[in-house]
Amino acid sequence: MGIERRPDLKDYWSSRRVFSQSFAAKYMTRNRFVQILNSLHFVDTSNADKSDRLSKIDAVVKILKRAFAEVYKPGREVCIDESMIPFRGRVLFRQYLRGKRYKYGLKLYKLCSDDGYIVRFIVYASKEPSRTGSAAEYVVTKLMEPYLDSGRQLVTDNFYTSIPLAENLLQRRTHLVGTLRKNRVGIPKDITSAKLQRGETTA
C-alpha cells in the first residue's frame, strides 16, 4: 500500500514485531478497510455504459490524463511504446504479452518524453469501432494528436513504424524514426534484399 510494501494485505495489521509500525493500523481496523475497499466505486454502476469496458474507471483515467498533460510539456523528441500493468484479476481486456517482465495485465499504449515521463496514454480495452487503418496507425495518431504540426520527432519500434505512417506524419510536420520490418508495404526491393553484415546500413 503506497510506499510501504508488505507481502500480504493482512500484514499491515499484524501484531508481529517486524510489522508493528504500520500507518494503516493506527487509524483503521482491517475489517473496516476491507469493507471500504470492496465497496469502492468511481461511477454509479446502474447508469454505467455497459458497452464501455472502462466505464467503471473512466473518471479516474480522465483525471490522470489531464494531470499528466498539464504538469509537463515534452521537448522535441518523443516516443511511443506499450507496457503492462500487472494484473491477474478477472476483466475481459486482460492481455498476455510474452516478451514483457509482467506477462499478464492491462496493456497501456503510452507517449513518453525523451527522459521517460508519460505524457499521454491509452488503456487498451478493445478495438475502437471508429478506427480506420491499422492498430499502430490509430495509436500513433491518437497519442500524437496535440503534438502534431509542431516540428517534433517521434521514435517508435517496428510494431508502429511504416512508410505510410511516416508520410502521413511528415504532412503534419512530424518526423518518424524507428526500426522497420522487412515485410512492410512500400519498402524498395533493393533495400529488403540487401545482404548486410552486423553494423552495416543501407539507404
Q: What's 60-88 look like in SS3?
A: HHHHHHHHHHHHCCCCCEEEEEEEEEECC
**155-185 confidence digits (pLDDT tens):** 999 999 999 999 999 999 999 999 888 888 8
Has residue 100 got a pLDDT over 90?
Answer: no
Q: Are residues 165 and 116 in the same domain?
A: yes
For range 104-111, the mean pLDDT = 92
- Is residue 162 one of the residues assigned to a domain? yes
Domain that holds residue 21: 9-39
Domain count, the chain: 2
Same domain, 84 and 33: no
- 187 shares a domain with 95: yes
Question: φ and ψ at 24, to 5 degrees?
Answer: -60, -40
> For position 113, what pLDDT does the model report?
96
The answer to whether the CB of 154 falls within 8 A of the CB of 114 is no
- 142 and 80, same structural domain? yes
* pLDDT score for 79: 97
Residues 31 and 95 in one domain: no
Position 143 pLDDT exceeds 80:
yes
Type of residue numbered 151: G
* pTM of this structure: 0.77
Question: Around 34, how many Cα atoms within 13 Å sit in the side-chain half-sphere?
Answer: 8
Whether residues 97 and 171 share a domain: the answer is: yes
pLDDT, tens digit (0-9, with 9 covering 90-100), for 115-128: 999 999 999 887 66
Question: Do 84 and 17 share a structural domain?
Answer: no
pLDDT, residue 188, reads: 82
